[in-house]
Amino acid sequence: MRRPQFIAEHARNARGLLGRLIAFIMARETWSQNLRVMDALRIEQADHILEVGCGHGRSLTELAARAPQGHIVGVDPSELMVEIAEQRTRPLIEAARVEVVHSGVESLPFPDGVFDKAQCVHVLYFWKDVETSLREIARVLKPGGRLGLLFRTNADSKAIASFPPEIYSFPALVDVSAALERAGMDIHLVEDGASQPALVLAMKR
């Protein structure tokens, strides 16, 4: 059954009490796929890591545990998600290990070439222009820095049937891979997305 549009809208921009409930459910629903990306990224002790569309912030804590001498930054354009992620990671924020920033992918408030790794899970459906957004992520990665990108593709018929097209755009894997290449990134790993979300690991040239 297709998820009603008013609920799907909270995945794109969570607000109010319903947004809070959806953030709680989302943190459980997406957890195994977030772990899949973190494993593929092979995080190192002192990595400086960006999570784009960090939502509820559950991965920020795990990223901080995997990079105990590193620094983790989550960005999200939903004020409610930023508030929830900050609540969840309060001790790590106070220890200056984690930061949560109110921002979309379109204009990341960071200088060029500062992050070792970037993670982005179930977010690109909401971007106005995938290639421009990937260029912006590539801009803030160091040369040799890696992006782990996870998303459902247009080959996933179950996802297409379940999520309203007014909110979710499911791209072709080949189009995202080509956009990554044009954004200055080489593809290192692709796990296909017909029956499970696709995982693409790309490295900045």
Ligand X SMILES: C[S@@+](CC[C@H](N)C(=O)[O-])C[C@H]1O[C@@H](n2cnc3c(N)ncnc32)[C@H](O)[C@@H]1O
Which residues are at the interface with ligand X (CB under 6 A)? 11-13, 26, 30, 34, 52-55, 76-78, 81, 104-105, 121-123, 126-127
Q: Which of 122, 146 has the CB closer to ligand X?
A: 122
Of 175, 107, 180, give the one whose Cα is nearest residue 149: 180
Nearest approach in angstroms of CB 102 to ligand X is 10
Shortest distance in whole angstroms from residue 105 CB to ligand X:
4
The nearer residue to ligand X, 110 or 126, going by C-beta atoms, is 126
Strands (E), the chain: 48-52, 71-76, 98-102, 115-121, 141-151, 185-191, 198-204
Q: Which is nearer to ligand X, 53 or 148 (CB)?
A: 53
Contacts of 179 (CB under 8 A, 6+ apart): 130, 131, 134
The rounded distance, in Å, linking the Cα atoms of 139 and 121 is 19
Distance CA 142, CA 148 (A): 14
Q: How far is the CB of 74 from ligand X (least distance, A)?
A: 9
Using the minimum distance from each CB to ligand X, give the nearer residue, 41 or 105: 105
First to last CA, the chain: 42
> Closest distance between ligand X and the C-beta of residue 78, in Å?
4
- Which CB, 13 or 196, lies closer to ligand X? 13
DSSP bridge partners of 197: none
Q: How far is the CB of 101 from ligand X (least distance, A)?
A: 11
